């Protein structure tokens, strides 16, 4: 094999014998979970606002400083329930992220907001411009990549145009803005408990709000016989949006270790920073808009001219080495979005998400960064080889 081309993509053995996953994948110890499962089976109470779900809602309220936490089956259902509670209609301003899809499924007219090239958060200037030019009834803000979209300024922009606002906070559990935890505010914020998030229930989600009337509407839409409900809303459409006791058990156990998970993420993030900063054309995106991050995502932007190969070539090579690398922004974009969302288009073509979470060690990161450095050093030979194949 040609010197410098000893990559799995070209026939060498992969660096990792098993796939190194990109998700957080934090789970409690089996013995602890087995004990909780035994309790569930002994009680013979598996869902419908059981004792573990009630306990989880209380503990999340205490942790986040929120008056109301409403647990649901998953985040997509949480979005649907929230949209119903807010009686959303017409045009909704959203970023081009997966959480927008349930709103489209409801028949809402989505207007996409561009991202900021530096922070990769929603662009406030683009949001303000579209709010002023179009009849937008609501804004779904999104806290992305362990950062924040500056919620106070987005809320002000929405209020100025009489638009409702709510937030996708799936990436943001445990993040803080000036010692104020995301999820402790007046507005609706929807969190995911998917295994890719720092706080996982295997699946699941929850909604937070300090608006008691909104919280009661949410509980009416997610019917639960044992949920404490102050007010019944007649004629409300309901959904089977209940969280299971098994989901609550995993989440409760993970919540006990959340600070350890956050610290692990931060140390891994710092390892990437130290090892990648000397490689030309690789820029780590720092969590923006927050004073405390959960470091749940490691996003890099690849400058092809400086790095030597494009992002897609990098993906090919790393995946062949059994490194699960993701494209963090949807691609391709809608046909008409190249002019509407120039920043999002550029990010979608150049961003990569590297592994970070429970399955990743500093040694793994050292190996990944060494592969990336060799790709950079041998970029001319790599490009020639790929073009010839």
The tally of CA atoms less than 13 A away on the side-chain side of residue 280 is: 10
3-class DSSP state of 305: helix
What single string gives the DSSP state of each residue in 30-89? Answer: HHHHHHHHHHHHHHT--SSS-HHHHHHHHHHHHHHT-SEEEEES-HHHHHHHHHHHTT--
At residue 353, what are phi and psi to the nearest 5 degrees?
A: -110, 120
What whole-number distance in Å separates Cα of residue 132 and Cα of residue 55? Answer: 44
In sequence order, what are the residues at sequence separation of 6 or more whose Cβ sits closer than 8 angstroms to the Cβ of residue 364?
16, 20, 355
For strands 68-72 and 205-209, give the pairing.
antiparallel
The pLDDT mean for the chain works out to 92
pLDDT tens digit sequence for 255-313:
999 999 999 999 999 999 999 999 999 999 999 999 999 999 999 999 999 999 999 99
What does pTM read for this prediction? 0.94
Question: How far, in Å, are 89, 107, 283 from residue 324 at the CA level?
Answer: 39, 34, 19
What whole-number distance in Å separates Cα of residue 21 and Cα of residue 324? Answer: 5
Question: pLDDT grade, residue 3 (50/70/90)?
Answer: low
Position 2 pLDDT exceeds 70 = no
Pick from 45-49, 124-128, 235-239, 248-252: least confident: 235-239
What is the b/e burial string over 359-369, where b = at least 16 CB atoms within 10 angstroms of the residue's CB? bbeeebbebbb
Please give the pLDDT value at position 385: 86
pLDDT tens digit sequence for 97-126:
888 888 988 889 999 999 999 999 999 999
Question: pLDDT grade, residue 339 (50/70/90)?
Answer: low
Q: Report whether 168 contacts 141 (CB < 8 A).
A: yes
């Amino acid at each position: 094999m040609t010197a410098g081309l000893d990559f799995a993509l070209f026939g060498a053995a992969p660096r990792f014998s098993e796939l190194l996953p990109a998700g957080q994948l934090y789970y409690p110890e089996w013995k602890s979970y087995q004990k909780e499962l035994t309790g569930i089976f002994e009680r013979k109470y598996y869902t419908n606002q059981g004792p573990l779900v009630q306990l989880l809602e209380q503990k999340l309220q205490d942790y986040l400083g929120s008056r109301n936490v409403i647990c649901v089956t998953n985040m997509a259902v949480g979005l649907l329930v929230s949209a119903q509670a807010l009686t959303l209609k017409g045009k909704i301003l959203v970023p081009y992220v997966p959480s927008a899809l349930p709103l489209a499924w409801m028949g809402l007219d989505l207007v996409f907001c561009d991202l900021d090239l530096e922070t990769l958060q929603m662009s406030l200037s683009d949001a303000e411009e579209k709010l002023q030019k179009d009849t937008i009834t609501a804004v779904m803000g999104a806290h992305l990549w362990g950062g924040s979209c500056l919620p106070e300024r987005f809320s002000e922009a929405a209020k100025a145009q009489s638009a409702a606002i709510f937030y996708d906070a799936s990436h943001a559990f445990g993040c803080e803005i000036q010692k104020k935890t995301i999820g402790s505010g007046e507005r609706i914020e929807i969190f995911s408990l998917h295994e890719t998030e720092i706080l996982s229930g295997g699946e699941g989600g929850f909604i937070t709000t300090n608006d008691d009337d909104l919280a009661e509407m949410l509980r009416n839409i997610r019917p639960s016989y044992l949920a404490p409900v102050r007010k019944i809303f007649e004629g409300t459409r309901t959904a089977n949006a209940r969280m299971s006791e098994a989901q609550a058990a995993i989440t409760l156990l993970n919540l006990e270790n959340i600070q350890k998970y956050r610290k692990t993420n931060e140390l891994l993030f710092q390892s990437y920073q130290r090892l990648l900063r000397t490689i030309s054309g690789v820029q780590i995106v720092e969590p923006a808009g927050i004073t405390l991050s959960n470091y749940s995502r490691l996003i890099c932007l690849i400058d092809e001219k400086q790095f030597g190969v494009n992002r897609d070539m990098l993906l090919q090579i790393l995946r062949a080495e059994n490194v699960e690398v993701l494209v963090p922004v949807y691609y391709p974009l809608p046909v008409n979005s190249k002019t509407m969302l120039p920043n999002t288009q550029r990010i979608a073509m150049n961003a990569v998400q590297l592994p970070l979470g429970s399955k990743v060690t500093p040694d793994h990161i050292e190996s990944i960064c060494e592969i990336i450095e060799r790709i950079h050093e041998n970029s001319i030979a790599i490009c020639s080889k790929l073009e010839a194949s």
